[in-house]
Amino acid sequence: MAREQVHALGFSAADPAAVWAIARDFCGLWHPALATMRAERGPRGALIRAFTASGEDTLYREQLTWFSDSDRSYAYRHLEGIRGVESYNARLSVTAAERGGSVISMTASLTASPQRAAEIAEGTKAIFEAGIKALAAQAEAGVVETPPAALPAPVAVETRMIDDLPRLAVSVTPAKPGPLVIFLHGIGGGRRNWRDQLGVVGHTVQAAALDLRGYGDSTLGPQQSTVDDYCADILRLRQVLGADKLVLVGLSYGSWIATSFAMRHPEMLAGLVLSGGCTGMSEAGPEEREAFRVSREVPLNAGQVPADFAPAVVKVLAGPDAADPVRAALLQSMAAIPAATYRDALVCFTNPLERFDFARLTMPVLLMTGAHDRLAPPAEIRAVAGRIFDLAPQPDVRFEVIAGAGHVCNVESPETYSRHLLEFLAKVVA
């Protein structure tokens, strides 16, 4: 088998947002060679475009494997239609040109027999060049963007207590068919941090926001918590609410817990949403983990409680433009944490049980982080998203940066966060 690389590059006088407004529609009919198009869903909700080309009877099918509005890029792999191809993966991206306008790039990597590979590469090059030319022309002609629909009004939410050892407190929406969405908060948060997302998501599926052990109205266990304990709590919640499949939505510490659960029970997850983190301390060395724990235990050892150092923590967590009510909400959730709970979480976080194997992620994954996140900056989370894309057996990855937000991006920019989440759920819930 021979391997061929195809790269086509073009320019548009239109700005990147205008070009991307057209190109982002994976199932759009913007390419001049297209005759028909329909959207399909794969077994795990992956978006597939099935299309025919003008003058042909062949049905082509391509599956979306990567998407990012923030980076204005997507990737896809060929499923059906190209004769003699063994593998075919392609990517489209739109970036800003140095002197204004946009650079449009389309690339492909394919394998086939030597003669056939050369033929496919030549045909791909022509298709890409025509597509770039069409995108540029349509963007320059002007695009009337449709404003996003208003988010639905929040549904009713009730508080439930799962009485056992430890007791777990959960805010839950009414039962609905489909997977159960479970929200997992950060080390300085609580289940109320998910108030805006919980009520909105409850229109689509049943959703539950959990107070982790020792937080809010949940109690600590009899021994030091481990990530396996948190995973057991998720399983308890799944059983009590009668769910089969789950979608875990984590923020920071909650993202680390959610990924840890995915390592243990990938077959249970219909989707995984990781915000403001993913790997936690699982890839840090012993010295780094110990330094992290000790530095944060210093005020506790001096007799302080989280309420005493909450203002300093909020300065790190919040983005530079965070409104006063947002800062107040972050301060309130941090100040409410008992010292014993915070210490318990620090010890758990700095004693990870494994280094994550992203090849175990068989479910669609959405990663989000704030543009001003100091703890999980965009470059770091983008790199993690790229590793998941490279290592997952059938990648279906979306990566988004939430403009203007800091670490607790769902609290600072609840509408933007919720829109990305609802788009993701529309895919995995169907």
State the DSSP H helix or E strand holding residue 428, giving kind and residue range, or none if neither. helix 414-429
Contact 183, 157 (CB under 8 A): no
Distance, in Å, from the CA atom of 425 to the CA atom of 427, rounded to the nearest integer, reads 5
DSSP string, 340-353: HHHHHHHHHHTS-S
Residues 371, 319: contact at Cβ < 8 Å?
yes
Residuewise pLDDT in 10s, the chain (430 residues):
999 999 999 999 999 999 999 999 999 999 999 999 999 999 888 999 999 999 999 999 999 999 999 999 999 999 999 999 999 999 999 999 999 999 999 999 999 999 999 999 999 999 999 999 999 999 999 866 778 888 988 999 999 999 888 999 999 999 999 999 999 999 999 999 999 999 999 999 999 999 999 999 999 999 999 999 999 999 999 999 999 999 999 999 999 999 999 999 999 999 999 999 999 899 888 899 999 898 889 999 999 999 999 999 999 999 999 999 999 999 999 999 999 999 999 999 999 989 999 999 999 999 999 999 999 999 999 999 999 999 999 999 999 999 999 999 999 999 999 999 999 999 888 6
Find the helix packing angle between 286-301 and 339-349, rounded to 10°: 170
Fill in the DSSP letter of residue 145. P
**Tokens 């593998």 belong to residue:** 87
Q: How far is CA 288 from CA 194, 254, 342, in A?
A: 30, 20, 19
Decide if 388 contacts 334 (C-beta within 8 A).
no
Residues in the chain: 430
- Contact (CB, 8 A) for 369 and 402: yes
Q: Which residue matches tokens 């609802």?
A: 422
CA dihedral 171, 216, 368, 309 (to 10 degrees): 160
If phi > 0 it is left, if psi is from -120 to 50 it is alpha, else beta; for residue 211 that is: beta
The domains of the chain, with CATH numbers, are: 2-141 (3.30.530.20), 158-429 (3.40.50.1820)
Q: Which residue in 334, 320, 394, 337 sits closest to 364, CA to CA?
A: 394
Query: How far apart (Å, rounded) are the C-alpha atoms in residues 387 and 382?
Result: 9
- The per-residue pLDDT for range 341-399, each reduced to its tens digit, is 999 999 999 999 899 999 999 999 999 999 999 999 999 999 999 999 999 999 999 99
Q: Are the C-beta atoms of residues 396 and 64 closer than 8 Å to each other?
A: yes
What is the predicted pLDDT for the residue at 43?
A: 84
Q: Is the peptide bond before 166 cis (omega within 30 degrees of 0)?
A: yes
Pairing of strands 365-370, 397-402: parallel
- Structure confidence at residue 144 (pLDDT): 66
Answer yes or no: are the C-beta atoms of 73 and 105 closer than 8 Å.
Answer: no
Q: Are 45 and 38 in contact (CB under 8 A)?
A: no
What pLDDT score does 44 carry? 87
Which helix (H) or strand (E) is 111 found in, with range? strand 102-112
Which tokens in the block code for residue 342? 């915070």
